[in-house]
Chains A and B, each alone.
Chain A
């Protein structure tokens, strides 16, 4: 409700008061309220529920995400609310201050939406297409690997190390993503491959 509406309602009432009574309880008297008592409409009505777990710490609390639209029906789904899953044995519906505000992580204004590229020396990011980004990164990786790969050591033992390009894996990707990333990095011979566990 904006101020204009509020004030109009008030003035209407005040006018009625003056007409109907004298000083009469400073203008209100027994006048009826403009709005009858009501609570806010329940905002999750007709939303779609999806079970997930919190991506922050390792307690892994169960959460329910409420969306307008259903991904499983092929629709666009907009998450409007997230709260704890009371069926989950660990958190029993509770969430910490981070988990309770997960919706605003999903919808953060600083969520990245497009691949961006910064040229050497530039002071800004510029849009780049996914295809161009993939082609360029793959080329950079291939060229570096071919130039710097250590196939054998001094004794002639195959060692297959690529030390000049590294990969830091995430701490919140799924196990399935982690396995795909593992295969990729180890097959390339990337030895500088680590994750947040060390830190």
Chain B
């Protein structure tokens, strides 16, 4: 080969490498987090503050140079709570280099995306679907499963019933959205009620967007409910309890809620109607969250005087877990060899990871998909969510159901 040919060949090779480099469109060390979120749809009220917390953890991490020099890129997709849009968006981003974690904001989206996550050897996090604990795969839940939390509520109900001097067991009613989320609590929760000897009334389901809930509430009240558990994402439970209050039911019936029960969003509008409502939560709520120094500092730094919602802290927890997982994955394989599967393996090593009091310690392991095991019970008092218990381990209700 002549000297001139060698020079031209070198140039050609340089061009080739440039093209390849441009095609991968990445020069800096970067990993990606995809949020299949709802920013303008039905549950935007809670998802927006949640992703604010997540984004602020990412900003903070990147501002400090990233994780071992690796920066985190956040991609937020507004699905407007639509499963079809979420799957289409996942299709668009599934081949993004080093897309390590996907957060699916609804039970329905999580179930649809799960199949693709398995195929792509990635991991996703979802709200509280116990099915993903029953069948261990690549989908992790944010805290204890919905049915675990419902079982913890039933334990509290039993304690409350006895503390009020009653004998026997109470009658419990349940109403929630007519969708996979609404039914999930009972897949194990119902079995747990039976185990406690609680008389569990036939559940009532209503479509999201229902304006008045009088019919369902009246039916449960007439059936003799001593306690009614109101599901749905705030402000739905707030509106259910508003209706119960207007019907005069809250005088004799204790209302309870799950993770998505009244937050600052609902309590700010219907404090009087919500007075006394009991909420079972895997993350800190109300002033307890607002005054958590770790949460307060980040909020002050990035959000300033905006109106605080406690779901912000829960979003921080998603981010902290991602950062912790990334550290483990990078330590195991380094950046160049890092694949989504390495992050999946890393998440299973996070058991015991401390979340600064925002929620219980991480419980992810090869046999656990629960983000934490503990819940705390709050009561609405004087327009605020006030803790009435410490962190307590939620019963394993998932194992009681045949999935």
Is B truly associated with A? Answer: no
Binding site for B on A (CB under 8 A): none
